[in-house]
Amino acid sequence: MEWVIVKYPRVRDVFIGGRRSGPANQILIVREGTQTFDLGTPIDYRPPRRTVTVTRTSAADPAMIEFEPV
Amino acid sequence: MRCSGRFAAACLRRSGWVAYAAALWLGGCYPINPALSRYDPHAGYRYENLSARDSDNTFVALSLSGGGTRAAAFAYGVLEELRATDIGGGRSMLDEADVISSVSGGSFAAAYYGLFGPKTFFTEFPDAVLYRRIERDLVLRVLAPWNWPRLLSPFFGRGDLADEYYGNHIFKSRTFAHLPRKRPYIMLNATDISRGAQFSFTQEHFDRICSDLGPLAISRGVVASSAFPIGFTPITFKNHGKETCGYEAPEWVGNSEQDLDVNPQLYDLAKTWRSYESAQHRPYIHLSDGGLADNIGLRAIETGIGSTGSLGLYEKVNFREVERIAFIIVDAKPESEPAADRSARPPGIVTVLNAAATTPLENYSSDTIERIRLWFDEWDRAAQDFDVRRAGCDRLAAKICGSSGSASACATERRGQCYEEAHASEMFRPPHPKLYPIHVRFEAIPDAAAKESLKGIGTRLQLPRREVNDLIFWARRLLRESQPYRDLVAGLRQASQDRMTGHRAP
């Protein structure tokens, strides 16, 4: 079990591997390993997706993945 | 549906005209699993397509272990106790079951319950399976001379004979398409003997061989799940090849192939997933007893949550929609006295082979249970650590800002700074459903004589009526007296009461 926060300035859902997986700006539980994150449609953010290897995180020190509006 | 055209060609290549003609005449071919015309990752029997029977904020998964009729009776007892447990609002605990994953003997109970529903299950299953002399009936069929030609065919084995018997006499020729489109999700698990990997009778797994699970007989899943080696021949499935239905492996497979060092378990799973893609290399898949890959049926649930994500639990937890997670592990593991240790002579070949076949499985099963326990512990610890960090910030702010009070601007500012630095702001608050690991096993029986008696029941497909009744009695009592189960029931009853009175927990 790994921990991730996807940061985005607005309320938005996070998609992992194409599946709606949780809200942005809140700590999320994910599996360990390489995963592709995006914010779904419309793609009004950048980068359009991030592929990140999530490992050795904790709830106190989660992986931080940032997107920004375009 | 016997000896299809392409399969006939395979028969020909392997056995020549004479054998093929004889096999065809005598019906000595196993049924071919149907092809899938078009791959659709959202169609067919999969968890996401089943409606919830009841409150969706509680996730209850049952794993039913292997162990022949011993396991089926033990599973029946647990299901009966779940049905008898009232959780308020006219509902029982059984209504809360979301997933039932099973192997081997447990698959008889899972399939029968899933197919026919609670009413028929609780009235008919004991006579249809538990008290039935399945073993005798199967032996008689093997000994019947009119079955010998078929059994001599290389394309029809004792497993296929058992499939016919289960289909005609227990599962009433029903198919997977007859499974209701509501929870619990039934996962019958077998083992792909070439890879040593779990193979579940779900559309997600059948997609990999471009096969449509729907028209397949339920009995085929049960017999594959319970085809204990030597006693039963493996059950063969045709790999139709990914190009025939346009199958594309899910994204996690490609990503996990990069994770040999990071997550070797998932890497192996991805490799296994890919191995089905080439129908040239693996035109046939041979499935044997699910217990060879996992004898308690828990791995399929763990994989569906933490690896493939097919059960969608992390998503629901992340959206803070799940308040309780319960795993009910129904474990009919036997443990007879090691007779070999009473002799100075080294154990014979049968004892050694039996130990070689079963001991690693038991260790693997214990390992799976331990992984779930550690997972739950980690989750609890994350929530506790968050509370500790936050409380530390509160104390620090109060100390720095002195008697001005916690509501003062000073305290608010200091606390906010500390929350940011210590990762204790709301953003970092981990989702924390209440977790209930419930392990129903013989070892917990308080009566020493009863415990020894149940642990000594062999793995058979027929048992004396008294032993079946004892297994049911103790399964019910063990579940009823399990502390985590009592906590779960109390929590659900309280929630039901709160709903009725309009009270909402903070």
What is the structure's pLDDT at B389?
A: 96
Angstrom CA distances, B333 to B194, B217, B302, B364, B373, stand at 25, 28, 20, 13, 18
| pLDDT of B36 higher than 90 | yes
What CA–CA distance (Å, rounded) separates B390 from B403?
Answer: 20
Q: What is the DSSP letter of B183?
A: S
Q: What is the DSSP letter of A36?
A: E
Phi first, then psi, for residue B443 (nearest 5°) are: -60, -25
Q: Which of B479, B233, B138, B314 is nearest to A3 (CA)?
A: B314
CB A38 within 8 A of CB A52: no
| pLDDT of B50 higher than 70 | yes
What CA–CA distance (Å, rounded) separates A26 from A23?
Answer: 6
Strand partners, B199: B190
**Domains annotated on chain A, with CATH:** 2-69 (2.60.40)
What CA–CA distance (Å, rounded) separates B129 from B125?
Answer: 6
* Out of A29, A53, A59, closest to residue B318 by CB: A29
**Domains annotated on chain B, with CATH:** 28-335+354-500 (3.40.1090.10)
When pLDDT is cut at 50, 70 and 90, the band that residue B500 belongs to is: confident
What is the structure's pLDDT at B156?
A: 82
Residues of chain A with Cβ-Cβ distance to B306 below 8 Å are 1, 31
CB B165 within 8 A of CB B144: no
pLDDT digits (tens, 9 = 90+) for B367-397: 888 888 898 899 999 999 999 999 999 999 8
CB A14 within 8 A of CB A21: yes
| pLDDT of A63 higher than 50 | yes
When pLDDT is cut at 50, 70 and 90, the band that residue B406 belongs to is: low
Q: Which of B241, B227, B233, B239 is nearest to B155 (CA)?
A: B233
| Exposed e or buried b per residue across B69-90, where buried means at least 16 C-beta atoms within 10 angstroms of its C-beta | bbbbbbbbbbbbbbbebebbee
| pLDDT of B357 higher than 50 | yes
Q: Given an 8 Å threshold on Cβ–Cβ distance, is B318 in contact with A53?
A: no
| pLDDT of B341 higher than 80 | no
Q: Given an 8 Å threshold on Cβ–Cβ distance, is B428 in contact with A5?
A: yes
When pLDDT is cut at 50, 70 and 90, the band that residue B17 belongs to is: low
**What part of A 10-69 touches B (C-beta under 8 Å)?**
17-23, 25-36, 51, 53, 55, 58-62
Q: Given an 8 Å threshold on Cβ–Cβ distance, is A31 in contact with B379?
A: no
In which residue are the tokens 């399945």 written?
B134
Q: Given an 8 Å threshold on Cβ–Cβ distance, is A27 in contact with B309?
A: no
| pLDDT of B231 higher than 90 | no
pLDDT (average), residues B262-282? 94
| pLDDT of B501 higher than 70 | yes
ipTM value: 0.97
Nearest CA in chain B to A7: B427
Q: Given an 8 Å threshold on Cβ–Cβ distance, is A51 in contact with B252?
A: no
When pLDDT is cut at 50, 70 and 90, the band that residue B292 belongs to is: confident
Contact residues of B toward A, CB < 8 A: 250-252, 255-256, 258-259, 262-263, 266, 306-307, 309, 312, 314-315, 317-319, 375, 378-379, 382-383, 385-386, 389, 422-423, 426-431
Higher-confidence residue of B17 and B151: namely B151
pLDDT digits (tens, 9 = 90+) for B411-433: 889 999 999 999 999 999 999 99
* Out of B251, B382, B426, closest to residue A17 by CB: B251
CB B220 within 8 A of CB B183: no
Suggest the residue from A2, A34, A61, A66 to mutate for an interface test with chain B (most B CBs closer than 10 A). A34
